[in-house]
Amino acid sequence: MPGSLTRLQRYYLLYTGGFILFVAALALLGDHGMPPRWIGYSFLIFTISMYAVIGIMSRTSDVSEFYVAGRRVPAFFNGMATGADWMSAASFIGLAGTLYLSGYQGLAFVLGWTGGFVLVSILIGPYLRKFGAYTVPDFMAFRFGGMFLMSSMVSAILTTPSCGRRPA
């Protein structure tokens, strides 16, 4: 079986196995009296170190390599990365907070968030690849022409969060 794995699958397997062993080691150290604060510090340092090692091992100066890994990543792994990005801690905490503060009415926001993500991935995702764009503003500028549209989209994205604020 290990001989039939691709290089990317071996990396994922190695990383997942190492992470599971690290968490088990921290659990064992916690059982033997290691203070919870030091377990937290160890986990934080390990996580930052892993990101640094991954970044150093996969550094590149080519734009397509940076954004889309040279389009060599299979759909399954790309879907896992997209799902992990969407299901980030900020999303879960934000959606849980919305449900807590708004109650049942906040469910509409959660469904809209999920439906919007699926809609964008189905309707715009294939065209990003077809046009060779890396972001939605790049695609819109290429498709509809000009930097005016792209700059107006960026300004709309930056000003939208302030539209819902109430004066203090």
Q: Tens digit of pLDDT for each residue in 102-133?
A: 888 888 887 887 777 777 777 777 777 777 77
Q: Amino acid identity, residue 17?
A: G
Cα 50 to Cα 4, 7, 12, 55, 101, distances in angstroms:
26, 18, 13, 8, 36
Label residue 31 by pLDDT band (50, 70, 90): very high
Cα 124 to Cα 36, 82, 116, 133, distances in angstroms:
45, 14, 11, 11
pLDDT tens profile 43-74: 889 888 888 887 787 777 776 666 666 667 77
- Phi and psi for 87 in degrees, rounded to 5? -90, 45
pLDDT at 1 over 60: no
